[in-house]
Amino acid sequence: MNLNKTASPQKIFETIGDQNRNNGGFGAVIARAGVGKTALLVQIALCSLLEKKTVLHVSLKESIQKVCIWYDEVSKKLERSTRDFTPDTWDTILMHRMIMTFGENQFSPTTLKQRLSDLTEQDIFYPQLIVIDGLMIDHDSRPIFEELKALAKELSVFIWFSIRSHRHQVTQTSDLPPAFIPLKDLFDTTLQVIPKGDTIDIKLLSETSSETPSPELVLDPETMLIRTMVQ
């Protein structure tokens, strides 16, 4: 990746999205329950919103009110930690963000496409980035992700997913969740969030990062903000 070393760490993921958007790129945030998947997705979304890109946040586990609270809390923390965010940018964020919620049994690629079509046909909203939080995976999930991949290509958007892992659920050849292995080839980037003692490491694996190594990233356990590792 061609990254500006002075850029905020959140912009690393903005770069990944830009490089893979036209091909319907996929990214996965993989972590155990309660470790910070939603906080990471919101930071990734906020970085795009600050660039005045339109973001669709799809939640399968939280209400619209709860999702708004996540954005409010994370944005306030970013205000205190980076010059990229000021109180004056909040109106811009609201203009470029759309939130959809589904019950876990109500979500499908077809339903998402229909609801998006209603928005685009009325010239209301055209997403440039989609985050899908709370979609559960199992060994039969591939057809769902293939349909979502086709939708991403059709819309020329990058989609970030939260993927839940379990403490002891690994294979002999990978520390990825077993149900994710059959899906791995669909993803351009995987972002594993791994608690280690007093820190939370972020392991970034990206097909676009082989030429220029990305900086070492961690999740601050107090603020849940992404930051670069202090050398």
Task: Identify the residue whose tokens are 């209603």.
Answer: 118
**For residue 1, is it within any domain?**
no
pLDDT at 101: 96
Amino acid code (one letter) for 42? V
pLDDT of residue 174: 53
Please give the pLDDT value at position 55: 97
Amino acid at 211: E
Give the pair of three-digit tokens for residue 155.
């819309």
* pLDDT tens readout for residues 53-98: 999 999 998 999 999 999 999 988 887 766 666 666 778 888 999 9
**20 or 206: which leads in pLDDT:** 20
Please name which of 74, 60, 69 lies closest in space to residue 111, comparing C-alpha atoms. 60
pLDDT of residue 85: 60
Return the higher-pLDDT residue of 210 and 47.
47
Is residue 10's pLDDT more than 80?
A: no
> What is the pLDDT of the chain when averaged over all its residues?
84
Q: Is the pLDDT of residue 180 over 60?
A: yes
Structural domain contains residue 37: yes
Decide: residue 57, CB within 10 A, 0-12 exposed, 13-18 middle, 19+ buried: buried
Q: Is residue 90, in this structure, part of any structural domain at all?
A: yes
The answer to whether position 33 is within a domain reads yes
Residue 172: pLDDT band by 50, 70, 90 thresholds?
Answer: very low
How many domains are there within the chain?
1
Report the C-alpha gap between 48 and 15 in whole angstroms: 10
Q: Say if 5 falls within a structural domain.
A: no
Radius of gyration of the chain from Cα atoms? Answer: 17
Q: How far apart are CA 12 and CA 109, in angstroms?
A: 28
Question: Which residues contact residue 186 at a Cβ distance below 8 angstroms, ignoring those fewer than 6 apart?
Answer: 26, 145, 146, 149
Instruction: Tell me the pLDDT tens digit for each residue of 11-24.
Output: 777 788 888 888 89
pTM of the prediction?
A: 0.86
pLDDT at 47 over 60: yes
Domain for residue 88, yes or no? yes
Long-range contacts of 4-8 (CB under 8 A, 24+ apart): 5/215, 8/47, 8/82, 8/84
Find the mean pLDDT for residues 186-201: 88
Q: What is the CATH number of the domain that holds 142?
A: 3.40.50.300
Domain region containing 76: 11-228
Tell me the mean pLDDT in the region 182-209: 84
Domain membership flag for residue 190: yes
**pLDDT value for 96:** 94
Asked, for residue 25, whether it belongs to a domain, the answer is yes
